[in-house]
Amino acid sequence: MPSRSGLEPASNASTLPVVEHTLDNGLKVLIREVHTAPLASVWCWYRVGSKDEGPGLTGVSHWCEHMNFRGTTRIPREAVKGIIEQFGGFWNGYTWIDQTAYVETASADALDRMLFIEAERMAHCLYHPDDCEAERTVIISELQGGENDPDELLDHELTAAALRAHPYRHPTIGWLPDLQSMTRDDLYGYYRRFYVPNNATLVVVGDVDARDALALIRRHFDPIPRSDLPRRAITREPDHVGERRVTIARPGTTGYVKLAFPAPAFTELDFYPLLVLDAVLTGAKGLSLWASFRTPAPQRRARLYRALVDGGLAASVQGALLPTEHPFLYSISLTASDGIELARLENAALEALARVRREGVTDAELVRAKKQLFARLVFENDSVTNVAHQLGYFETLASWRALESMRPSIEAVTAADVGRVAGEYLADTRRSIGWFAPTTVPATEEGGEAPE
């Protein structure tokens, strides 16, 4: 049946009212009409992230994202912010391992302006050398700030230890020597290779007419030519042959333990059983990189919370299983309670995981985990911004139609499935363990300085 605008939906089998169209230059367009408020959200997604970075270029995807807010041939640097804010909206962007995304959400009458910004960003960014140098300073400062956060530092170091071959091992922000040596030509060349319409998906959700929106999109994006994309050969991570460990000893006041295990890609059959297992262990987070971690997970009855937080060993417990194009990691992060030795906290966590490997999960735990995950799926679609994010995010991984299969995929998970993935993925030989062990800050003599 035709949509209200007269355009055919993407598929007669689709339960989501999404209009899908591909321009002649290869740009994928997804439009969903949502008429609950006079708002529209525009997301432009590029299938490029830190996994696409070659030797000497770690962090280039994130750096390009920064540069693409610094003006174009027709948008002065200082005007980018004002174009959206005059319509009462907001703008942002982010880079991760598989994708780079830009968003504007504003009143629906700003749609033409939002599309203009994204077309300019795709084809006409400047990369002035002075701006490149200014952003080098900003990004290195951001990196150093992250290194002062013990939990973030431990995450970077443990990820690099857990993954030895796949480029997911590199932090999205990059490694410091690469950030110090990259040139303006490196940045601009990377931008021109990947910021092309046939490597992008444009998503529009809100109080729009799909036919009119598509006409505006064609006017702004049709003139941008497609380009040959570089071949992307990525090494698959080899199997672990034994436990790996990282210990960071630095001045601090709080200890951290982080566990990491190989995890399946989003499109693999084991992803949803492992997602349910994480909900049993640490509480359900959902499947939105944009929204899921902004609201605390329901943890009061989660296994690791009861064993470690209620048991007085940990101040907090967090689990993370994220949808990724290639196999990545399932991580469990523990913040030690005051006075608790890290070895004691680690042993208690490993014993709780060994128990779920031996015994699996109960029917009551399975039902509760599924209900929590179903609720999260609802919360992740509570605004036009979140709806548009999910459409674009999963299109970069596989297809936006994956959104339709999430609930039935979760519903189909059995207790036996959860027990099986617990036994396979949480095996002793597959784990990586990291400690941040705080050391005492040396006392200074009166009038003197602490030794280096």
Closest CA relative to residue 119, chosen from 74, 152, 81: 74
Contacts of 412 (CB under 8 A, 6+ apart): 272
Q: Is residue 266 part of a domain?
A: yes
- Domain shared by 251 and 387, yes or no: yes
The pLDDT assigned to 14 comes to 65
Answer yes or no: is 328 within a domain. yes
pTM: 0.93
CA torsion through residues 83, 87, 88, 91, sign: negative
Q: How is residue 338 written in tokens? A: 């005051």
The pLDDT of residue 1 is 31
Residues 119 and 23 in one domain: yes
What is the reported pLDDT for 80?
A: 75
Residues 285 and 411 placed together within one structural domain of the fold: yes
Q: Is residue 148 domain-resident?
A: yes
| Least confident span in 6-20, 70-84, 407-421 | 6-20
Q: Which two tokens stand for residue 132?
A: 């490149």
The first and second tokens of residue 87, run together, are 């319509």
pLDDT for 244-267, tens place per residue?
A: 999 999 999 999 999 999 999 999
Domain presence at residue 418: yes
Instruction: Flag whether 239 is in a domain.
Output: no
Domain that holds residue 280: 244-439
- The pLDDT score that the predictor gives to residue 34 is 97
CA–CA gap between residue 320 and residue 151 (Å, rounded): 14
- What is the DSSP-derived secondary structure letter of residue 309? I
Rounded Cα gap, residues 439 and 252, in angstroms: 6
Q: How high does pLDDT run on average in the chain?
A: 93
450 lies in some domain? no
Q: Greater confidence, 81 or 57?
A: 57
Type of residue found at 179: L
| Total structural domains within the chain | 2
Q: Write out pLDDT tens, residues 193-219.
A: 999 999 999 999 999 999 999 999 999
CATH number of the domain bearing residue 90: 3.30.830.10
Of 165-169, 292-296, 353-357, give the lowest mean pLDDT range: 292-296
Same domain? 315 vs 418: yes
* 61 domain residue, yes or no: yes
pLDDT of residue 310: 98
Q: What is the arithmetic mean of pLDDT over 374-380?
A: 94
Averaged over 437-452, what is the pLDDT? 54
Q: For residue 168, give the nearest of 324, 398, 337, 341 by alpha carbon.
A: 324
Q: Are strands 432-439 and 244-251 parallel, antiparallel or unpaired?
A: parallel
Per-residue pLDDT, averaged over 166-172, amounts to 97
Question: What is the helix (H) or strand (E) element at residue 437, kind and residue range?
Answer: strand 432-439
Only one residue has tokens 């999430």, namely 406
- pLDDT, tens digit (0-9, with 9 covering 90-100), for 401-441: 999 999 999 999 999 999 999 999 999 999 999 999 999 75
Report the DSSP pairing between strands 90-95 and 100-107: antiparallel
- On whether both 217 and 248 belong to a single domain, the answer is no
